[in-house]
Chains A and B, each alone.
Chain A
Amino acid sequence: MNRLTTTAIVSLSTLAMMQAANAEEINALVWCDHADPALIEPFTAATGITVNLKEYEGTAAGLAILDQSQPGDWDVLVIDAVDVGRAVDLGLLAELPADKLRNGEFFPEVVMAENNSRDGKTYAVTEKFGYNTIAFNKSKVDPADMEDMATLTSGKYDGRIAIYDYYLPVLGEMSLAAGVNTADMTPDTLAALKEPLFALRKASKSVGDVVASQTALATGEVDILVGGGEWLTAVLHAENPDLDWTIPKQGAVRWAQSLAVLEASEKKEAALQFVDYITSPEGQARLATSSCYWGMPANAKTGDVLTPEQKTVLRWDQQPEYLAKTQLYPVPDAALDQAMQDLWTEMLQN
């Protein structure tokens, strides 16, 4: 082995060791849209920070994972925007430096300071939002019928409907149809939803999770999905442009997901870098068009990065109207949550 080769090997080894020493890792508890390599890899390439991801579904499951972990195990948390307060109450979230956040670039309606802040301190930042409403195949149903929730239980579409298996948005949507705002739902108002919910179930063919719902709509198993929206039809748009969605006259539920740094994190600087990347127009465009599901980016400047086709699929230009017509998910306390889940389980078993 000549001297040049030896020097090269030693240099490369030293460089690799230095990179390994400098390499930083953060652990993120996320939803599946963050697991898209197209979203995470550019961040790692730019910062050298590796992001270890664990996916979860449902705030209760996320909080249970945190409860069973050691302090410091997790650095970043994606959480339903309406549940940020719960995590703050549990002392899980770190205060974010408001002056370093990009809230000024956001659609005003989705800054959601009432959810993401407490006593003037910001604990989370909205990263993505969308709608749980009615998705349908416009070549199989009359789009005008989809403007009224009542049509779904009229008998016209019996056996051609699927229900998205997530109790919060669907019960929220049904509550709006019953004339009760999502924020005003109680166990008493919930009781009145049993009859219309069971009627909808009777008219439906299946109740499925995201993949099952998408499959049912894509394969023509059903023509209507209650609880669906752009998050479900957008990824199918290329292969079936007939899949569409609308917000009925009764209104629909708006979902939003927030990003937070955990109080127990020992890598808050790296975690904040990740938050900044995700809320930047580039990160937002990648998150909005994630291979798991699409959704509207919270940062309005993302419009400069998205392609015209992506903006069409996301209905970028109609957002002001849609934002005005929709309400946030219900935020149930423990008793209401229990009652909602009991009603949902009963519906599934009948």
Chain B
Amino acid sequence: MASIEATEARRATAFVAPALLWVLAFFILPFAVMIGVSFARLEGRTVVYGLSFDNYLRFFSDPSLFKGLTISLEITAVVTVISVLLAYPLAWIIAMRVPARYQRLALMLAVLPFWTSYVVRSYAWLLVLGQNGVINKALLALGAIAEPLELASTRSATIVGFVHFFVMLLTLTIYSNLIQLSPNYARAAADLGASAFGTFRHVILPLTLPGVVTGAFLTFVLCIGDYITPQILGGNNELTLPQLIMLQLGRRGDFPMASAMSIILMGVVTLAYFASARWLKLDRV
């Protein structure tokens, strides 16, 4: 008996070992190295290894650097809220109003922009929002404005670019939740006298909340760590945390500072995860 158990344990270990090694080699070790480097210092142009908190102290005391974190959080919060508000009705229409045989086609159309390159998509928005872009030309032609609006190279442009991308992601996660709901829930609520809005508020929404929060969390993680969209659409008029990290790497060659800022960014993402997990009570799932 003991021999069978031992064999089973060895087999289980063998099955899990590749995944563990993968995580160890490509996440734990690089992460440990990054933590180690974050405690080094750049003296002149030389990296001095040691246990220094200078980089962390500098980040929180230098307004130009700390502002990057607040800008990132502000943009991410706005993007997440707008994306959820747009994606939920879209997913609901696809799941509840589009006939089953057309749902796959509707989903494909909804996520069609995923098929283009992220960078190309951002540049395309620049051409839409630009001084001579589609929107300004249309508004000028209609006589709605006398001078072109400042749409590109702004925080709003960055938010538009992000929302365009994340609405697709959220639509998928919310749709996958909605489609699993049995229509009997809504019927039962109606039988018990609930209005359409009451059914949505007290039955549908709570049941689809895991999908919403999962999508919102993914949006948060991807948005707060993104470098390309604010770089292209924001016009460098304000720098997000990832842009500041790139500045440390690409321009200063300050790997310790970049590592410290990356650890701080990971800390923020970890906090967001725990906030979502606690709210969702994932430990009970």
Contact = CB atoms under 8 A, between A and B. Distances in A.
A205 interface: yes
A219 B153 contact: no
Nearest to A165: B236
Interface stretch (B1-9, B99-107, B243-251): B243-251
Given A60-B252, A61-B253, A159-B150, A207 B235 contact: yes
Contacts of A216: 153, 235
B44 interface: yes
A114 interface: no
B276 interface: no
B153 A345 contact: no
Contacts of A349: 63-64, 67-68, 238-239
Choose among B45, B63, B231, B238 the residue with the greatest number of A CB atoms under 10 Å from its CB.
Answer: B45
A345 B64 CA distance: 7
A215 B126 contact: yes
B255 interface: yes
A212 B238 CA distance: 15
A181 B27 CA distance: 49
Contact of A341 (B67, B127, B252): B252
A276 interface: no
Choose among B130, B133, B231, B252 the residue with the greatest number of A CB atoms under 10 Å from its CB.
Answer: B252
A219 B251 contact: no
Interface residues of B, number: 34
A167 B283 CA distance: 50
Contacts of A205: 150, 153, 235
A263 B239 CA distance: 38
B132 A220 contact: yes
Interface in A138-160: 159
Given A208-B236, A215-B123, A348-B239, A63 B153 contact: no
Interface string A219-236: 111000000000000000
Instruction: Give the interface residue-count category, chain A.
Output: 20 to 34
A216 B252 CA distance: 26
B237 interface: yes
Contacts, number: 82
Given A63-B253, A206-B153, A212 B67 contact: no
Contact of B235 (A64, A212, A345, A346): A212
A212 B237 CA distance: 12
A212 B236 contact: yes
A190 to B, nearest CB: 16
Contacts of A86: 45
B130 A221 contact: yes
A294 to B, nearest CB: 22
B58 to A, nearest CB: 10
Choose among A57, A209, A221, A342 the residue with the greatest number of B CB atoms under 10 Å from its CB.
Answer: A221
B250 A206 contact: no
Contacts of A45: none
Interface string B221-237: 00000000001100111
Choose among B47, B63, B236 the residue with the greatest number of A CB atoms under 10 Å from its CB.
Answer: B236
Given A64-B255, A207-B237, A341-B251, A334 B130 contact: no
Contacts of B244: 345
Given A58-B251, A212-B232, A345-B247, A334 B152 contact: no
Contact of A60 (B67, B239, B251): B251
Contacts of B236: 165, 206-208, 212, 348
Choose among B67, B126, B235 the residue with the greatest number of A CB atoms under 10 Å from its CB.
Answer: B235
A312 to B, nearest CB: 27
A207 B252 CA distance: 18
A341 B237 CA distance: 16
Interface string A307-347: 00000000000000000000000000010000001100110
B156 interface: no
A61 B153 contact: no
Contacts of B131: 219-221
A87 to B, nearest CB: 11
B127 A219 contact: yes
Contacts of A61: 249-251, 253
B238 A206 contact: no
Nearest to B233: A212
Nearest to B133: A219
Nearest to B71: A349
Interface string B248-265: 011111110000000000
The 8 tightest CB contacts between A and B, nearest first, are A60-B253, A206-B235, A334-B44, A207-B236, A64-B253, A206-B153, A349-B64, A220-B132
Interface of A: 57-58, 60-61, 63-64, 67, 86, 159, 165, 167, 205-209, 212, 215-216, 219-221, 334, 341-342, 345-346, 348-349
7 contacts: A60-B45, A207-B235, A220-B131, A348-B237, A349-B64, A349-B238, A349-B239
Given A206-B153, A221-B153, 11 more contacts: A60-B252, A63-B253, A205-B235, A206-B236, A215-B123, A219-B130, A219-B133, A220-B130, A334-B44, A345-B244, A349-B67
